[in-house]
Chains A and B, each alone.
Chain A
Amino acid sequence: MTATDNPQTTTGVPFTLNGKAVEARKDELLIDAADRHGVHIPRFCYHPRMNPVGMCRMCLVDVDMGRGPGLQPACMMPVTPDIKVDTESEATKSAQDGVLEFLLINHPLDCPVCDKGGECPLQDNTLSFGPGESRFVEEKRHYEKPIPISPLVDLDRERCILCDRCTRFAKEVAGDPLIHFIGRGAQTQVNTFPDHPFSSYFSGNTVQICPVGALLAQPYRFKARPWDLETVESTSAVDTTGARVLVQSSRNQLTRILGLDSDAVNWGWLSDKDRFAYQVTESENRVTEPMLRRGGDDLTPSRWSDATKTAARALRGDPARVAVLGGARLNIEGQYAWAKLMKGVIGTDHVDCQLSDGLPAPMALGLPRATINQVCAPGGVVVLLGPDPKEELPTLYLRLRHAIVEDGVSLIELTPRPTSLSDLAAARLHCVPGTVGQVAAALAPGVSNESADAQPADQMTAARALLDGSRPVTVVLGRANLAESARYTADAVGALQRLVPGVTFLPALRRGNVLGGLEMGLTAGFLPGGVRRAGANFPAWPFVPDFDGKDADGIMRAAANGEIDTIVLLGADPMEDYPDAALAKAALERVSTLIAVDAFVTSSAAEADVILPAALFGESDGSFLNLEGRLSPMLAKVTPPGQAKADWMVAVELATALGIDLGFVTLAELRAELSSMATTFASVDWNRLASADDGPVLPLKRQWVLEFGDAATPPAPSSYGLRLVVDHKLWDQGTMAQESPSLAGLAPPALLHLNPADVEALGLSEGTPAIIDRDGATLEAPWVADPSVVPRTARMAIRLPGFDVRSLLTVGRSVTNILIRAAGGTH
């Protein structure tokens, strides 16, 4: 090889490492360059995903920069040409000895009862690089043994080696600077501020990166010894980010989830929901055997064959009177099996894996996709046309935050409210519900600001400058407001596409594998592979539906009108989770047969005639399609409890009860058929999925022409009305959080957020609840004055304890106008 055909050689920095001539990359830190050349320099504080601080001094090595050797911290030193590095010199060894001896003098050495024992960098470095014994005979430093610093994390200060990893993570990566060093000298300790617990959505990461057992995850504490754990690489299904994870079990129990350092996706970081929601599998409330309602009685356990027979009977009727809701919880294989069963065997197209809280399927499937790395590429412009990513896709939030803070990415917010990224945004356009399409259209050059619904001129100017075509633009697209029709978002998408040719999108939806569900055809009008139903040819299927079905809203309305006989709930709980609570209740009560495939007796499943027990995350093999279109493995580590089965097997069982062969009895057969039917999956090498780095990104670069109307004008509020913004908090009363013991208590109470100016105009006084009135339906709610709320809007999160905002929502409304008055007063 010549020097010219290897770019590394031309830009490399030559230096000597332990006598060998090697090369570093430009600006590469010595510690990383040495790693690449197989020389491990011990470390504690250095973490490749955070800025180095050079604090622990473990990585000191002898470096000769031309003036004789001297100790330098390898984690702080970019390699410069011709330096001579000796990681084995006497001076290096003596420094390593010294640092380890220092770290151990006050360390409690309680390894036998420490969660970290066996996988502890302090143990490992001591064994490899440390002195054999301690010369310290003084009294050690003592602190109260672990103190809780958050509901999820305990801190044992005696074990802490003050490496600044946790504190740096909290401040730099998460942006939640809630843990700090306090005190000085040997009394320095990590702690929280009084009355400010470390309540960060990302607290679990500090446990993972702590190089000792000082930070402990309460759910894992004393649960296992590391050497007993079995591990598989998998993918988190908590939201559509698809964070890559390691799933660990001990004695057939899930015990721990760790973040996997995937360059493409999550960089090793997880949200606490990704990390701790595995506890749901251990819940006592799991449905572990089929349940059947026999003649109006309570649900009682039954045999699989009885349950499937009952279900099959209900599915045999007119396909146009059968509907399916849900499916985002399922893996790709389960979604394919169910799509085939319902569309290809039963013949219904009334299928929707979204519950009126996502994006229209053509938008989610058909817009040109960006990858996370493309969105976060240095120097780009990102338009946030969706929810607060910290609340809905927290792991993606960390990537976005890093891109903005460290890599010069500029953010334009087109959101109904300030988000967790607002402080970092280059342009903030906070749009009253119904106006986002107009505002986006007004960003086009030459359009006057007047059409931008009173957005501040400086923000419009800043946004226009960023969209002038000189920098690549991507859009993080989602559903920011459940009380506002997605058509306004669609208007904004159309405007952005016209304004920025070639703009790409990241569909930031919340529900686990919902993009997999859409891709597998669990949505009206589509078949697996994003193929439109009309005119499709699916030879492996008995037939395809002969009508275009309804979406979730349509299904609900039809069911409530008595036009649907049977609904299958694939892990969906519309009673709690569908924005229009009244409609959900009417629909589920009206149908003659309700079939729930679920792991819990949710409010909806409690209404069912048949419950078929499903396996959960970590209990069945399959794959996950994230928001980029990345297909990654989601593997089983434990067996499902009782008689619960993987979702695809439930579909096979039901087909059998219907007297039909679904065409596959193994996962391999299912996948082979899936690949042959869904062209986007044609080149997937299923056997290598687990070993391929982060999973392949499927070719979803569709260029569908989407018909978006001109920006529509929403109806004006009637009198002194406010427009409602309803979105999600990470911790809510969803099943996953509620059934995970350590997450169950984290949902904050429901509160109505009002702009202080509106509070004043409405004459609300502190301590008196507000009465919310929507067309005569009223709801009493505690409220808070919140300057971050856009004037003339009111914000509430859904599914929080206290009150149910869904009583104010009616599907089909373009926006939701409400009236507010003080309780007890007249208005």
Chain B
Amino acid sequence: MATNTYVAHAPGYVDNDGPKIVTRRFADPESHTLERYLATEGYDGLRKAMSMAPAEVANLVKDAVLLGRGGAGFPAGVKWGFMPPVWPRYLVVNGDESEPGTYKDRLLMERDPHQLIEGCVIACYALGLNQCFLYVRGEMALAQERIAQALNDAYANNFVGKGILGTDVDIDVVLHWGAGAYIVGEETALIESLEGNRGMPRLKPPFFPAAKGLYLKPTIVNNVETLSNLNWLLINGADAYKQYGSEKSPGTRMLAVSGHVKRPGVYEVEAGNISFRDLFYGENYCQGIRDGHELKMFIPGGGSAPWFFGDQLDLKLEASDVGAAGSMLGSGALVVMDDSTDAVRACLRLVRFYARESCGKCTPCREGTSWEEKILERILDGHGRQEDIDLLLSVGAQISPGRYPAASFEDAGLSAVPFPPRQTTICPLGPSSVAPIVSAIRRFRSEFEAKIVLDHGDHDEVDHDHEDNHDGHGHAHDADATAVAAGGH
């Protein structure tokens, strides 16, 4: 088995030399079949779980400090403990992965659907519930297909359904296909969507899903990767799990790296143990910035995260450290941009995403994000005004008041503003649009000024078509766009 290289049948996945938990079957081209799954400890975790009392399973997950992989990094075991003793109750699996830069859940669903299904059933058993909804993003056709096949096989072989493994435990897993909206990844919007309503977030408080979620019943929402850990965790136990990773972030996690590194891709890593420098430059990982270029900035945790720069390279990929340094690890999506990148264009690319994906429910996000987009477009079209830079910041501050999280900028004597941002909005989507604006202006104000002064009077039309091209990997920009922007000077 070739290691430390791309895996052809799992596009984008890099099989590196580190320990593996959730991607350990990826090297096998048939890993998605029940046959291969059963041959590789498949459903052993479930057997183990069902030999224990549900509370013991929940405790094991708590002991392991299994952190949520959907973005917030909240310990799954603790979240499970928030459920009041009310039935019916539900498990909802968040497979709506759409954060710009993130493409790990898709691989898990395509390459190892049974691992996810087993995780669902274990979680249901631990939570004493028998109805699980698996919500998969609409665009992920292959994932849908594989999960559907796997579910049929799992039902046929009694891993899901009535009387699981010959016991009297009944658990149903329902596959639901989303309609393609980023916001539906937010758990309360996902719940609304499942209920058949328009996918718009609910206000939290008053109710958190664990207390009142789907149909206002207690509901646990967990990410695909979070639950995919359970097969291994049940087989090997919490102590073995904690052998990996750091004390605060045990185990491994999947990281999706995109942009100007030599080997972008998805890696399973012991996150807390390595630094950004290790990840971007390490031979076992991304192997450095592409030749002839230097790192300009990177996004450490998906499009919603404030940008980091060279100053932050030696930080460990540890949520608490990254938060204190002014950003977040979020969904584990890292976007690397080298010195060919136009900061203003990169900023527009991200802001446009949030403007278009805003659900429209609350005023500041609905109106503010598209205003931001229009200002940035105008600056790039050569119609910028001096006051537009502060206007951008001010519009951003009406969506996210107070000091917005940002990395330190030692040369300018600016210290870090810790995560998270405040919000006048209902959910964090609106404030996410402010991250690129504050990040870019704080660090590269002169690039904005140059566009406003230099482009004045003789501006080339920018070809916006390129910017609409959100590719599947959600790169925050691509070489094309960079070239167009660079040519504009």
Docked-complex contact A98 and B398, CB < 8 angstroms: yes
Query: At the interface with chain A, which of B48-56, B340-348, B370-378?
Result: B370-378
User: Is the C-beta of B9 less than 8 angstroms from some C-beta in chain A?
Assistant: no
User: Is the C-beta of B29 less than 8 angstroms from some C-beta in chain A?
Assistant: no
Which residue from B361, B391, B422 sits with its C-beta under 8 Å from A55? B361
Docked-complex contact B198 and A181, CB < 8 angstroms: yes
Docked-complex contact A54 and B358, CB < 8 angstroms: no
User: Which residues 323-381 in B have Cβ within 8 Å of A in the complex?
Assistant: 355-364, 366-371, 374-375, 378
Query: At the interface with chain B, which of A184-192, A466-474, A535-543?
Result: A184-192
Q: Across the interface, which residues of A come within 8 angstroms of B356, CB to CB?
A: 184-185
A136 to B426, CA, bound (A): 23
A744 to B378, CA, bound (A): 52
Docked-complex contact A57 and B424, CB < 8 angstroms: yes
Docked-complex contact B203 and A76, CB < 8 angstroms: yes
Q: Across the interface, which residues of B come within 8 angstroms of A822, CB to CB?
A: none
User: Which residues 32-66 in A have Cβ within 8 Å of B in the complex?
Assistant: 53-58, 60
User: Is the C-beta of A309 less than 8 angstroms from some C-beta in chain B?
Assistant: no
Q: Across the interface, which residues of B come within 8 angstroms of A70, CB to CB?
A: 422
User: Is the C-beta of B88 less than 8 angstroms from some C-beta in chain A?
Assistant: no
Which residue from A56, A105, A138 sits with its C-beta under 8 Å from B362? A56
A628 to B463, CA, bound (A): 70
User: Is the C-beta of B425 less than 8 angstroms from some C-beta in chain A?
Assistant: yes
A135 to B378, CA, bound (A): 14
Q: Across the interface, which residues of B come within 8 angstroms of A53, CB to CB?
A: 203
Q: Across the interface, which residues of A come within 8 angstroms of B181, CB to CB?
A: 184
**A34 smallest CB distance to B (angstroms):** 18
Number of interface residues of B (CB under 8 A): 35
A76, A78, A101, A183 pick with most chain B CB within 10 angstroms:
A101
User: Which residues 180-231 in A have Cβ within 8 Å of B in the complex?
Assistant: 180-181, 183-188
Docked-complex contact B360 and A188, CB < 8 angstroms: yes
Which residue from A57, A97, A138, A183 sits with its C-beta under 8 Å from B375? A138
User: Is the C-beta of B11 less than 8 angstroms from some C-beta in chain A?
Assistant: no
**B292 smallest CB distance to A (angstroms):** 38
User: Is the C-beta of B206 less than 8 angstroms from some C-beta in chain A?
Assistant: yes
Contact of A54 with B370 at beta-carbon distance under 8 Å, contacts A180-B198, A181-B198 already known: no
Across the A-B interface, how many residue pairs have beta carbons closer than 8 Å? Answer: 101
User: Which residues 63-122 in A have Cβ within 8 Å of B in the complex?
Assistant: 70-71, 73, 76, 78, 91, 94-95, 97-99, 101-103, 105-106
User: Is the C-beta of A711 less than 8 angstroms from some C-beta in chain B?
Assistant: no
User: Is the C-beta of A509 less than 8 angstroms from some C-beta in chain B?
Assistant: no
Contact of A102 with B363 at beta-carbon distance under 8 Å, contacts A71-B424, A95-B424, A185-B370 already known: yes
Which residue from B183, B367, B399, B401 sits with its C-beta under 8 Å from A105? B367
**Closest chain B residue to A72, Cβ basis:** B205
User: Is the C-beta of A161 less than 8 angstroms from some C-beta in chain B?
Assistant: yes
User: Is the C-beta of A162 less than 8 angstroms from some C-beta in chain B?
Assistant: yes
* Contact string against A for B residues 393-421, beta-carbon threshold 8 Å, 1 for contact and 0 otherwise: 01001110100000000000000000000
A70 to B402, CA, bound (A): 10
Which residue from A60, A73, A184 sits with its C-beta under 8 Å from B358? A184
Docked-complex contact B367 and A103, CB < 8 angstroms: yes
A479 to B386, CA, bound (A): 74
Docked-complex contact B363 and A54, CB < 8 angstroms: no
User: Which residues 222-246 in B have Cβ within 8 Å of A in the complex?
Assistant: none
A94 to B401, CA, bound (A): 9
A180 to B196, CA, bound (A): 13
**Closest chain A residue to B378, Cβ basis:** A138
**A169 smallest CB distance to B (angstroms):** 16
**B473 smallest CB distance to A (angstroms):** 23
Contact of A71 with B364 at beta-carbon distance under 8 Å, contacts A138-B374, A186-B370 already known: no
Docked-complex contact B206 and A73, CB < 8 angstroms: no
A102 to B367, CA, bound (A): 6
Q: Across the interface, which residues of A come within 8 angstroms of B361, CB to CB?
A: 55
Contact of A186 with B362 at beta-carbon distance under 8 Å, contacts A57-B425, A102-B398, A180-B198 already known: no
**B63 smallest CB distance to A (angstroms):** 30
A54 to B368, CA, bound (A): 17
Which residue from A71, A99, A139 sits with its C-beta under 8 Å from B363? A99
Docked-complex contact A185 and B426, CB < 8 angstroms: no
A98 to B391, CA, bound (A): 12
Docked-complex contact B358 and A185, CB < 8 angstroms: yes
Docked-complex contact B360 and A186, CB < 8 angstroms: yes
Q: Across the interface, which residues of B come within 8 angstroms of A185, CB to CB?
A: 355-360, 366, 369-370
**Closest chain A residue to B402, Cβ basis:** A91
Contact of A102 with B401 at beta-carbon distance under 8 Å, contacts A76-B203, A184-B358, A185-B356 already known: no
Q: Across the interface, which residues of B come within 8 angstroms of A135, CB to CB?
A: 391, 394
* Contact string against A for B residues 76-109, beta-carbon threshold 8 Å, 1 for contact and 0 otherwise: 0000000000000000000000000000000000
Docked-complex contact A54 and B355, CB < 8 angstroms: no
**B337 smallest CB distance to A (angstroms):** 25
Q: Across the interface, which residues of B come within 8 angstroms of A56, CB to CB?
A: 362-363
**B207 smallest CB distance to A (angstroms):** 11
Contact of A102 with B369 at beta-carbon distance under 8 Å, contacts A55-B426, A71-B424, A184-B359 already known: no
Q: Across the interface, which residues of B come within 8 angstroms of A55, CB to CB?
A: 361-363, 426
Docked-complex contact B364 and A57, CB < 8 angstroms: yes
Which residue from B366, B371, B399, B426 sits with its C-beta under 8 Å from A138? B371
A183 to B359, CA, bound (A): 8
**B322 smallest CB distance to A (angstroms):** 23
A102 to B398, CA, bound (A): 9
Q: Across the interface, which residues of A come within 8 angstroms of B401, CB to CB?
A: 71, 91, 94-95, 98
B206, B361, B371 pick with most chain A CB within 10 angstroms:
B361
Q: Across the interface, which residues of B come within 8 angstroms of A138, CB to CB?
A: 371, 374-375, 378
**B96 smallest CB distance to A (angstroms):** 15
**B54 smallest CB distance to A (angstroms):** 33
Docked-complex contact A184 and B357, CB < 8 angstroms: yes
Docked-complex contact A186 and B358, CB < 8 angstroms: yes
**A308 smallest CB distance to B (angstroms):** 64
Q: Across the interface, which residues of B come within 8 angstroms of A105, CB to CB?
A: 367, 371
A56 to B361, CA, bound (A): 8
User: Which residues 141-191 in A have Cβ within 8 Å of B in the complex?
Assistant: 161-162, 180-181, 183-188
Q: Across the interface, which residues of B come within 8 angstroms of A106, CB to CB?
A: 367
A185 to B182, CA, bound (A): 12
B355, B367, B370, B401 pick with most chain A CB within 10 angstroms:
B367
Which residue from B366, B398, B426 sits with its C-beta under 8 Å from A54? B426
Q: Across the interface, which residues of B come within 8 angstroms of A73, CB to CB?
A: 203
Q: Across the interface, which residues of B come within 8 angstroms of A54, CB to CB?
A: 203, 362, 426
**A540 smallest CB distance to B (angstroms):** 61
**B38 smallest CB distance to A (angstroms):** 43
Which residue from A76, A78, A95, A184 sits with its C-beta under 8 Å from B360? A184
Contact of A162 with B426 at beta-carbon distance under 8 Å, contacts A73-B203, A183-B360 already known: no
A184 to B183, CA, bound (A): 10
**Closest chain B residue to A70, Cβ basis:** B422
Docked-complex contact A181 and B424, CB < 8 angstroms: no
A105 to B395, CA, bound (A): 12
**A405 smallest CB distance to B (angstroms):** 14
* Contact string against A for B residues 453-469, beta-carbon threshold 8 Å, 1 for contact and 0 otherwise: 00000000000000000
Which residue from B355, B358, B371, B422 sits with its C-beta under 8 Å from A136? B371
List residues of B whose CB falls within 8 A of some A CB: 181, 183, 198, 203, 205-206, 355-364, 366-371, 374-375, 378, 391, 394, 397-399, 401, 422, 424-426
List residues of A whose CB falls within 8 A of some B CB: 53-58, 60, 70-71, 73, 76, 78, 91, 94-95, 97-99, 101-103, 105-106, 135-136, 138-139, 161-162, 180-181, 183-188
Contacts beyond the supplied A58-B363, A102-B367: 8 A-B pairs with Cβ under 8 Å: A95-B424, A98-B424, A102-B366, A102-B398, A138-B375, A185-B359, A187-B360, A188-B360
22 contacts between A and B (CB under 8 A): A53-B203, A57-B364, A57-B424, A71-B401, A91-B401, A95-B398, A95-B424, A99-B398, A102-B364, A103-B363, A106-B367, A135-B391, A138-B371, A183-B360, A184-B183, A185-B366, A185-B370, A186-B358, A186-B367, A186-B370, A187-B360, A188-B366
The 4 closest A-B pairs by CB, nearest first: A188-B360, A98-B398, A186-B370, A102-B367
